[in-house]
Amino acid sequence: MSAYVEIPSPCESAPGRFTVDLVFPVQSKRRAKQHHDVAWTLAGVHGLEVSTPYKVNSRWSIYEEKWGNGERHGWLDERRLRVDGPARALARYLVALERVLDEVEALATRAVRVFGAWKRSVEAEPFLEYEDATTMRVRAREFRADVLHALAQGLGARRRTAGERDSSRPLWEQYGAVAEEVWASAGAVDLERADDSTVTALMARMVPAVVAEAERLAALEAAQVERERLEAERVELFRQADAELAREADEADAERYARDGQEGLFPVSEARPLLLVPPARPVKPRCAPRKRVAMVARFPAGIRHVAISREQVECVSPAIAAAVWPEVSGDRRRYAPAA
């Protein structure tokens, strides 16, 4: 938990989108405005939508505004920031925001230390002649605020060069150069890095277990509906293919019966079996390559006769298969007795 921002629990504003109202609780209004600017810039880096809420003045009335003390109706509350976006992007933003604010404040503290070292150096003596302890405390406080403002304004810049100091001016007037100096010495600030485990834990708090379970069941139901649709399409394709094959078979039978003079003996498609759609074939896993077995191992010594099927002979030598099983002519096959 960061001391520079209060992060309440995000609420779901739309399906898949969440909204959170950030609060910057530091006492100084100017410092809270700088934290507001840092959070605004970081939200743009993470692709989120941001807005500053409007605060209504409780002392306002139409009479106070026109004839009284000139009270305004309200103003933008720069101590608050409303951020809206997808769940995971918002979770990454909230995790990164605490770290970025801490690192920017650490850079401002480092700049104050640079100011303290300059104050104790010889080159600062001409500028401290009319300064006392009280004014130097004010100078240091204002210098830190100016450096923090410069860091917040240049947070989104990708490339920043270290500024050069001017020895003819006091250091409290060169807060921009000191800000660039501490930025370069620290190696910049990573605006996108966020711990994945912390993001997952925050998302678990954002999305309750009941909602997550409902989303999982909805996804399973959608997958089941998709499988049923694909199965219905497959059955319909089988029916269309069977109807086309039946039509072609009926035409061929009618032509053959007419040629043989038997069209009255065998009605076309009288006892056609019902269509049986085979179940969907499962995905066959890939098998390891088969190891070739030596001929001696296949046919041990002492075996004289081996039965070989026609398919095996055709696979080895189609010429031998054609010699052993000669081709029968179409006329002989047509008038041959049925098996």
SS (H, E, C) 156-195: CCCCCCCCCCCCCCCHHHCHHHHHHHHHHHHCCCCCCCCC
User: 163 and 175 in one domain?
Assistant: yes
User: 176 and 39 in one domain?
Assistant: yes
Among the candidates 162, 177, 207, a domain finishes at 207
* Distance, C-alpha 158 to centroid of its chain: 24
Q: What is the pLDDT of residue 162?
A: 56
Q: Are the C-beta atoms of 81 and 50 separated by less than 8 Å?
A: yes
CA angle 171/176/181 to nearest 5° reads 85
In a domain, 313, yes or no: no
pLDDT tops 80 at residue 269: no
User: 260 and 181 in one domain?
Assistant: no
User: 183 and 249 in one domain?
Assistant: no
Owning domain of residue 221: 208-269
Nearest to 189 by CA among 19, 292, 41, 302: 41
pLDDT tops 50 at residue 232: yes
Answering whether pTM is above 0.95, one says no
Residue-wise pLDDT for 253-264, tens only, equals 777 767 766 655
Per-residue confidence band for 339, with pLDDT thresholds at 50, 70 and 90: very low
User: 134 and 186 in one domain?
Assistant: yes
User: 23 and 69 in one domain?
Assistant: yes
Residue-wise pLDDT for 26-77, tens only, equals 888 888 888 888 888 888 888 888 888 888 777 666 666 666 666 677 778 8
Per-residue confidence band for 121, with pLDDT thresholds at 50, 70 and 90: confident
User: 215 and 162 in one domain?
Assistant: no
Q: What is the mean pLDDT of residues 236-248?
A: 82
Helices 133-153 & 29-45, crossing angle to 10 degrees?
20
Task: Select the more confidently predicted residue: 67 or 246.
Answer: 246
Residue 313 burial class via C-beta count within 10 angstroms: exposed 0-12, middle 13-18, buried 19 and up? middle
Give the span between the Cα atoms of 322 and 229, in whole angstroms: 48
Residue 90 burial class via C-beta count within 10 angstroms: exposed 0-12, middle 13-18, buried 19 and up? buried
Domain count, the chain: 2
User: 212 and 200 in one domain?
Assistant: no
Per-residue confidence band for 288, with pLDDT thresholds at 50, 70 and 90: low
Q: Any residues with CB less than 8 A from the CB of 22 and at least 6 apart, and which? A: 5, 6, 7, 39, 80, 81, 82, 83, 97
In a domain, 124, yes or no: yes
